[in-house]
Structure 1
Amino acid sequence: MQIHTDKLRNYDVGLLVTAIVAVVLFISLFLNISPNSSQPPHYSQLKYRFASPDELNFENVDQVPSNQWVPATSPVNLGMSDKAVWFSMVIEPTQSPDSKYLLHIDYALLDELDVGIFENISSAPVVTYSAGDTQTAENRPFQHVKPLFPLPSSQFSQQVFIKVKTSGTIRLPIRIWKESEFIQFTANRNAALGVFFGILIAMGISNLFLTVTTGSKSFFLYSGYVFCLALTIATLQGYGFTYLWSGSPWFQGKAAVIFASATIMFGSMFTRSLLPIKKYSILLDKIMRGIGWLCGASIVASVLLPYSIMIKIFLVALSIIVSFTLLLGAWMATKGEVIARYFTIAWGFLLISALAASFDNLNLVHLPLTSNTLLIIGGAVETLILALILAINFSHSRDTLINAKQFALEQEKQANTAKEHLLTMQQRHQEDLEYKVEERTLELEVTLRELSEVNQELERLNAVDPLTGAHNRRHFDKSLRAQGRRSRREQIPLSLIILDIDHFKQINDKFGHDAGDECLKHMTHLFQKHIHRPSDDLCRIGGEEFAVILPNTDLQGGKFIAESLLTALASEPLSYEGDEINLTASAGVATAIMHDEDQAQHLFRLADSLLYKAKQSGRNKVISQQLQD
């Protein structure tokens, strides 16, 4: 690719600024997320001992002689082992008896984790906990992304024993926190990771849109790479197991290698799409294609083979593939491919972080930052630079196409000039005709665009109730059918609330129909303030009757929302021309997981009948019921 010198200089500056800003931003975020900590309870150096799975338990572990325990270096990284590892530490009595303390292990990929806490005066554990990938969220002491355990208050020293059994790397970055300081630390860490995931998701979605608008598969492959990288980091940080597949410990044991393999697969395919490898070497192009197939096979193998085998194979393969891709980019840069030069710089960030993470997980090096943090920083910087490279490549391709068209037009003009002395009058009339056609075409395009805008506005107005601004009955019918299909397709609950203002006719008779209209507007405004999710849909389906469609909401959640709406309405009366109009409403809530097309109407009829039961049983109340199959 040949790029003009001035543009090349601008691209160099842009890439340099992007890289520096990204590196500084993410390093500063992850080095400064820990709040100022007061003095935690003192605890002894962590010691460890390997044991067969059934050799030790909490009934006899305190009887192991002290000379059989090995002091652990910090940070604790014992590599990979099939054996169970027992850790031991002594916690001094807390200076503040009223303070609550937490034992935090900042590593999410441990399969089995058992904790027993002994007081020095007791021979049995005061309390025991279990966590790890084999435990679902509800069985853990706290629903947190990393193992977290409350420490019981005690005026005595406490002996803590921790049993770890995992198929991956045995790491135990342990820390004791005050509860208030841990909350602040978690908030800061979530903010930093939120920036990272926000950047990745925004880039992935924007490039999906570019895929649709440009038809370029490079944008699609880049989106796939970005989304898989985000899922990989979410798995390593524990967010995936906590929030996405918390009910599947089996999948958690496979997810890291599956998503990491998918990331490399999309990365290799994106590399082939971005760089003209085939132009310089058919063999290297086949190797890159083979890497994509190999990563696809790794995804399948990850499902079938144990994690302990796959993670070792993957870490070695990761280092080789990233190194090969970096060398390929550097080689192509020597051939004059400017994009390859930028690509090499971007891949270099990932190579450094990937190699450091691999060596750290294989217990070959010890780093001040965790391997997961290094992957986040390296992946974020590489992703930003790749986005810039993709934009440069697309811009250059577009400019090349425009220049080719302009050159062709210039050649055509020169050919026409040679005949100009024979066709002067004809050409003059032709140009005049073409101008009029273009002018008329432009007018038609403007008219069509205006018509399209008017149609869009009419479509919007056709779905909105003109009095309240809520969606109308026509929109409600469409939305209920659509959400019913989604519930049936994804097998998620769908809740429907039908509400009706109590004694609305009396309000009209006493204050007038204008007051009644103001009541409807007031009710709509209150409800819209209390309905927060974008997918929730408030509709006016009758005179004083409203409906709220709640996708992915169970019966308890639907009833809670309905009660909050009724409470808000009752607590905020309407002031109208000096009078205060107290409003209440009754509601029926129906919930179902759809199995056929007709169930949406059954759900509506059930919610409507529950509304009238609420009316008959005293009004200003909610009656809810699950729709039976």
Structure 2
Amino acid sequence: MRIEYLDSQLAMTKFRQRLSYNYYVLAALVLAFSALMLFMVVSLGQDIDKHALEPVYHFEDVQNKQTIDTIDQIESKQWLKNDNQNFGLTKSSQWLKVDLAKTQNNQLLEIDYAMLDSVKVWFRSKKEGISGVTNEQYYIIEHYDLGDSLNFIQRPIIHDKFLVPLPNDAADVQLLLRVQSDGPLKAPLKLWSKQDYVVYTASHRLFMGLFFGYMLAMGLINLFLFITTRSVLFITYAGYVFSFGMLIAAIHGLGYRFIWSESPWLQERTTVVFAFMMMSFVLVFSSQILQLKTSSPNYHRIFRGFSTVYMLCVLASLIVPYAIMIKLLLVLLLFTIPVILIVSISLVLKGSAIAKFFSAAWGVLLLSGLTAAADNFHWINLSIDSSYLLMVGATTETLLLALAIATSYSVQRLETKKAHQDSAQNELLAMQAQDEVIALQKQAQTDLEQEVTARTQEFEKALAGLSQVHDELQGMSQTDKLTGLSNRRFFEEQFVIEAARSRREKQPLAIALLDIDHFKKINDNYGHQCGDDCLIAFANTLKAVIKRPGDLLSRYGGEEFVVLLPNTNVDGAKNVLEQFRSAIENLQVDTQGHPIKFTVSAGVTSRVVTDEQDSEKMVTLADKLLYLAKGAGRNCVVSSQGMSANSQASNKTSGTR
């Protein structure tokens, strides 16, 4: 029996070596297939570049006010030469102008980007015998309205790209376009003969057919595997593949042409809907294939949380405007993709064979995705359509993920087989070494408990450190760096809390605004360092005078401060502020060799808060009382009880402090 066990172990080792070799061969085939698709992309890009329309002149209408009747009033120097017509994420209208020596009816103008909300095209020519640059010199030969905001059937040529026929046998024609979109905006202009475009379309359709055929096959295979095995891993992978395929179909205008051609509303939203849906499936699939629920529960919860957020965004995309959701998508991707990579790489470092393929797959998709995003948002300029690179990256990624799934099942099968062999060996040796096995089990249990305890302590220590850093950062965000008092943001948060307490407990709440008199003169005469020293001394004096627990002292801005006194009526608040005013009046700040004295003015009010509007009224009233104090000669405290008596002084103030 012992010899048979050793033979089986040797066979297992050989099987693993052969399996590892097969995986490397499959990986090489994946790279070869990806290289073939990349070669096709480069070839298509070179063919497209030959038909680029140039020179193209561009004008950005920031206010979206220009029309065909006013565009010629733009000075020629404002029209700038533009080689790639990629404008990034902008709400401005973009005007493009090209002069054509002669046009023929067998020529086509292609706007090589399928996701534009509005495209207006004019072909026009100068009136004979007139020279100059006014709009009256042109007459319009042809005019076309295109864009995703219109039904697909309204396009002059039924095609997934924006195609426009050129006028027949026209000389000295000027092509004028106005394009606008809520998403990334680019409008690469290509001029084709109909024959050349048919040849190009055939190559393009071949590439797209390979991609969608491959994605459909991968999705259906995993869907059938789910039906037969009931493994959620397969259905989430199929959901990811189908979502990604639909995303590419939406980007290239194929979805609008063949599926939802009568719904501009749906066309506007499908891109972000399928993008959010794809990322939701990706996160669930990643958690399952990496077995995070058992190996890393915290990562599993993070992935599950992100997946839920993405699925909620799918629903929100049906309501919230596209311009907002595309920005939200970018923000979420900036957080999600690094998390996925960090988790997978950490598992690779731990020796996970599945994570190797998973990390490689995500690395390829991330590289192609970042390149496509950088091109769409005008951070870089590519000579080829960036969506093609995204498709190549997706193809490579799905192949590598398929290898990861195969690896996962192979590993599970090996582990199952090894478990059966170990079970047989254990049964064989059980009678001979029962005591030894029990001792080893106890020792292993002890070691495991010690390891778990150690890891738990390390984790708790790390959490404690993070909590301390969080408290420190929170304190920094709530404290004015110069004076050490709380800042305006913290005051506004506490004011809401204290106002609610006043309303609930029917107790008065006092608020006072304080302002250093003629502080600008201190800065002008002695410099800002002396001014800062005066502010610090002012704050220290304020803390020394007003130190009741629960009172809040805050720097409101510049030389203005605010004091919040819960459970204090107006008389009590005024007495406290009079003490402080007197302390400031007797204060002398020695700084930079200068003895500086200054005074303070304050406005104070108090009331029992009855509704939410009361808190805003109290701040406004305290500010008005402060101005009354300024108008009364400064160096005084004016309360809400004395407001009417000082109203005439208020009318004399000019608003300067």
Q: Same fold (TM over 0.5)?
A: yes
2:113 maps to: 107
- Hey, what's the Cα distance between the residues in 2 that align with 1:62 and 1:234? 38
State which of 20, 33, 41 in structure 2 corresponds to 1:30. Answer: 41
Deviations 1:245-302 (A, max 9, x none): 0111001111001001111110110000100224443222211111111111111221
From 15, 30, 45, give the equivalent of 2:56: 45
Q: C-alpha deviations, 1:26-62, integer Å up to 9, x for none?
A: 1112222369699869753332232433x22223323
Identity %, equivalent residues: 30
Q: What residue in structure 2 maps to residue 57 of structure 1?
A: 67
Question: Does residue 1:344 correspond to 2:359, yes or no?
Answer: yes
Contact (CA 8 Å) 1:315, 1:358: kept in 2 or not? no
Cross-structure match for 1:394: 409
Q: In 2, are the aligned partners of 1:319 and 1:355 still within 8 Å (CA)?
A: no
Q: Does 1:119 align with 2:125?
A: yes
Residue among 152, 159, 164 paired with 1:149: 164
Question: Contact 2:120–2:143 (CA<8 Å) still a contact in 1?
Answer: yes
Distance 1:288 1:42, change over 3 A: closer
2:81 paired with 1:71: yes
Alpha-carbon distance in structure 2 between the residues aligned to 1:134 and 1:39: 30
Report the counterpart of residue 252 of structure 2 in structure 1: 237
| Distance change >3 Å, CA 284–CA 271, structure 1 → 2 | same
Counterpart in 1 of 2:286?
271
1:253 matches 2:264? no
Q: 1:347-496, aligned counterparts within 5 Å?
A: 347-408=362-423
Shift of 1:70: 2.3
CA spacing shift, 1:390–1:47, aligned 2, 3 Å: same
After superposition, give the CA deviation of every residue in 1:49-85 in whole Å (9 maximum; x if it has no partner): 32433x222233234321222222x322111222222
Q: Which deviations, in whole Å up to 9, do the C-alpha atoms of 1:525-559 show, x marking residues without a partner?
A: xxxxxxxxxxxxxxxxxxxxxxxxxxxxxxxxxxx
Aligned counterparts of 2:161 and 2:173: Cα–Cα separation in 1? 22
Q: Choose the corresponding residue for 2:91, options 82, 97, 103.
A: 82
CA drift of 1:213 comes to 1.6
Equivalent residues in 2 for 1:249-328 (5 A)? Answer: 249-328=264-343
Contact 2:277/2:311 (<8 A) preserved:
yes
Contact 2:120 2:179 in 1 (8 A): yes
> Greater CA deviation, 301-310 or 267-276?
301-310
Aligned to 2:217: 202
- Matches of 1:225 and 1:137, distance apart in 2: 27
The residue aligned with 1:524 is: none
CA distance in 2, matches of 1:326, 1:41: 38
Measured in 2, the distance between the counterparts of 1:414 and 1:281 equals 35
CA RMSD, Structure 1 to Structure 2 (Å): 2.6
* Mapping of residues 184-223 of structure 1, within 5 Å: 184-223=199-238
Return the offset for 1:315: 2.0
Whole-Å separation in 2 of the counterparts to 1:38 and 1:236:
20
Q: Distance in 2 between matches of 1:169 and 1:212?
A: 39
| Distance change (3 Å), C-alpha of 1:227 and 1:265 | same
Q: Provide closer, same or farther for how the CA distance between residues 398 and 233 of structure 1 changes in structure 2, counting only shifts above 3 A.
A: same
TM-superposed deviation, 1:414: 7.8
SS at 1:130 equivalent: strand
Q: Is the 8 A contact 2:45 2:383 kept in 1?
A: no
The Cα shift of 1:14 comes to 2.9
Q: Which amino acid aligns with 1:372?
A: S
Contact 1:79–1:169 (Cα < 8 Å) also in 2: yes
Q: Which letter maps to 1:382? A: E
* Structure 1 position 231, deviation (Å): 0.4
| C-alpha displacement of 1:401 | 2.3
Residues 463-499 of structure 1: CA deviation (Å, up to 9, x unaligned):
xxxxxxxxxxxxxxxxxxxxxxxxxxxxxxxxxxxxx
**Are residues 1:18 and 2:29 paired?**
yes
Q: Distance in 2 between matches of 1:48 and 1:22?
A: 43
Query: Is contact 2:45–2:385 with CA below 8 Å preserved after alignment?
Result: no
Aligned partner letter, 1:101: Q
Write the distance in 2 (CA, Å) between the matches of 1:249 and 1:15: 43
Provide, for residues 416-466 of structure 1, a one-character-per-residue CA deviation record: whole Å limited to 9, x for no partner.
Answer: 99xxxxxxxxxxxxxxxxxxxxxxxxxxxxxxxxxxxxxxxxxxxxxxxxx
In 1, the alpha carbon distance for the partners of 2:140 and 2:228 equals 63
Which digits, 9 at most, give the CA deviation of each residue in 1:107-140, with x for residues without a partner? 0110011101101336231111111111112100
Instruction: Decide whether the 8 Å contact of 2:56 with 2:96 is kept in 1.
Output: no
Residue of structure 2 in register with 1:474 after alignment: none
CA distance in 2 between counterparts of 1:366 and 1:316 reads 22
Distance in structure 1 (CA, Å) of the matches to 2:45 and 2:262: 30
Shift in alpha-carbon separation, 1:155–1:245, aligned structure 2, 3 A: closer
How much has 1:102 moved relative to structure 2? 0.4
Picking from 71, 93, 101, the partner of 2:102 is: 93
Is the CA contact 1:120–1:156 (under 8 Å) kept in the aligned structure 2?
A: no
Letter in 1 for 2:256: F
SS in 1 for 2:139: coil
User: Aligned runs of 1:471-620 on 2, under 5 Å?
Assistant: none
Q: CA deviation at 1:100?
A: 0.8
How is 1:158-173 mapped onto 2 (pairs within 5 angstroms)? Answer: 158-173=173-188
Q: Which residue of 2 aligns with 1:467?
A: none
Question: Residue 81 and residue 268 in structure 1: after superposition, are their counterparts in 2 closer, same or farther (change >3 A)?
Answer: same
Contact 2:93/2:180 (CA < 8 Å) preserved in 1? Answer: yes
Q: Give the secondary-structure state (helix, strand or coil) at the position aligned to 1:404.
A: helix
What SS does the aligned partner of 2:182 have?
coil
Shift of 1:329: 0.5
Flag structure 1 segments of 5+ consecutive residues without an equivalent.
Answer: 418-629
Figure out how many residues of one structure are paired with residues of the other and give that number: 412
CA distance in 1: counterparts of 2:99 and 2:396, whole angstroms: 41
1:64 partner amino acid: I
